[in-house]
Amino acid sequence: MRLRSLPSPVDLGRFWFMLALAAVGVGNMGFHVIVSRLMGPAEYGAFGSLLALMVLVTVPAGGVQTLITARTARIVESGRLVDGTAAFGRFRRAGAICAIAMLAAAPLLQGFLRLDSIWPICWLALYCLFPVAIVVPWGWLCGQGKFAVVGTIAIAGTVIRISVGILLIQAGFGVSGAIMASVAADSCQLVALYLASNRVRARDRARAVSLGIDPRAAIGGVLAVTGLWLLV
């Protein structure tokens, strides 16, 4: 009688990662249900208009993140080390550029969206820093097979977002409070992902492959993911 082999840690991590992403999706839906009840129609309508701007950052970042995961996995499968130091720095700078651009456009966006205060857009500008900066550590860890770690961090971020959002909205911060909750959640995720990423040490960089993606492949991936979201 043949015994079935037990699932490997990577397989269990993948299963946990899928469950975690499902939990995050449910948590995000729950966040909007709770926020809409606490804010009321007028404030939640304003928050909805800001969500469209958030998608402009998160969707392209998600496309690049998938490419980084695939690139890291191919390097690891070849038996080589992956040095993500340069990529980490590039995407941190790209996130800062996105945040500065959003902040510069804040007065125009306030008038266009007919918001009573400029502060929600200022917080949104700060938020833009994190989805872009998270791209590399998230993709790097998934490419290394650290799915359980990423899934756990994603769930923790969702819990932080809901908890902080409830506290800030009840404290009277309204739309700004909802955006601040996303800032708090993503900043905590960023710190946790960077701590977990275990980048290649200096003595190993000579025999490691620098993590990078082809610009044409990045553009194609971003367009594909963005097109899917537009259809949805």
Q: Which of 221, 181, 179, 206 is nearest to 67 (CA)?
A: 221
Query: Across all residues in the chain, what is the average pLDDT?
Result: 85
The average pLDDT across 177-185 equals 94
**Whether residue 147 has pLDDT greater than 70:** yes
Kindly report, residue by residue over 59-102, the tens digit of the pLDDT: 888 888 888 888 888 888 888 888 888 888 888 898 999 899 99
**In the chain, which ranges are E strands?**
81-83, 208-210
Higher-confidence position of 143 and 218 = 143
pLDDT higher than threshold 90 for residue 168:
yes
- Classify residue 226 as left (phi > 0), alpha (psi -120 to 50) or beta: alpha
Show the tokens assigned to 112: 């266009």
Is the distance from CB of 179 to CB of 187 less than 8 angstroms?
no
3 state SS of 210: strand
Residue range 36-52: mean pLDDT, rounded: 88
Q: Look at residue 138 and tell me whether its pLDDT is greater than 90.
A: yes
